[in-house]
């Protein structure tokens, strides 16, 4: 590795799990580029990161935007040696009423973007003979959830993609793993009623929601030298909701 400070790219870093991951990687000594979908979000990240990183606007569905961003990072900061594919949305609905746009948006953001971003950073990782690609999956890739056929399919595809890529790139010391969160306390869960939260927690062995930091801790481990002999795996962080 020729870079003095490893560069990490975290998509969807402006809030929730992505924000916790970005801050943890900064604490771990990485220079972090975090993406947001708006200029205001990117500027906020730049201010938060200070000399430890930068914010950037990125629509992960846009192939040209991915190319331009990674090229800029390489020119200004060096090769991306840690990629965290975290950006995501939901478009829930029963399949009978699900539009093709709702299907396509989820597959494009959660799966096709992972293909594009991973492919774009691989050459820099291969030259450095070091790389960490970490995909943020979901417990729904393993547990059926009505109304999320699109999301479940995309996350399961993400994990299968990671296993194949791990086989392809292992000889270059590039690892590819997924982290699959369960119920995590974020802005998306804050609006749930106390009764719904109680019923959800009853399904979890530890009896509570996880925190974004729990996912950040898992990513921190997989991005480190401590995980150098782990690849093609899914790390479940769900408090016992699902046990592989």
In order of 92, 93, 94, 138, the CA distances from 145 in angstroms are 10, 11, 10, 11
* C-alpha R_g of the chain: 17
How far is 167 from 3, CA to CA, in rounded Å?
25
Residues in the chain: 244
What does the CA dihedral 239, 157, 13, 175 come to, rounded to 10 degrees? 80
- Chain centroid to Cα 168, Å, comes to 20
- Are the C-beta atoms of residues 144 and 201 closer than 8 Å to each other? no
Is 192 in a helix, a strand, or coil? coil
Question: Which candidate in 115, 151, 229, 242 is catalytic?
Answer: 151
151 in active site: yes
Catalytic residues: 151
């Amino acid at each position: 590795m020729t870079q003095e400070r490893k560069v990490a790219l975290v998509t969807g870093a402006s809030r929730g799990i992505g924000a916790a991951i970005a801050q943890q990687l900064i604490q771990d000594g990485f220079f972090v580029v975090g993406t947001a979908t708006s200029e205001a979000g990117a500027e906020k990240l730049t201010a938060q990161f200070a000399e430890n990183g930068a914010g950037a606007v990125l629509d992960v569905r846009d192939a040209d935007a991915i190319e331009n961003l990674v090229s800029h990072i390489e020119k200004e900061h060096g090769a991306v040696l840690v990629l965290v594919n975290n950006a995501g949305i939901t478009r829930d609905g029963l399949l009978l009423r699900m539009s093709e746009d709702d299907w396509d948006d989820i597959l494009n953001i959660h799966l096709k973007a992972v293909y594009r971003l991973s492919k774009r950073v691989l050459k820099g990782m291969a030259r450095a003979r070091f790389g960490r690609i970490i995909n943020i999956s979901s417990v729904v890739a393993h547990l059926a959830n009505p109304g999320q056929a699109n999301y479940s399919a995309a996350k399961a595809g993400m994990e299968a993609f990671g296993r194949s890529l791990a086989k392809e790139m292992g000889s270059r010391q590039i690892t590819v793993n997924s982290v699959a969160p369960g119920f995590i306390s974020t802005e998306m869960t804050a609006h749930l009623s106390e009764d719904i939260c109680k019923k959800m927690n009853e399904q979890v062995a530890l009896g509570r929601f996880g925190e974004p930091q729990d996912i950040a801790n898992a990513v921190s481990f997989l991005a480190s030298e401590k995980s150098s002999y782990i690849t093609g795996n899914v790390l479940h962080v769900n408090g016992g909701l699902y046990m592989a």
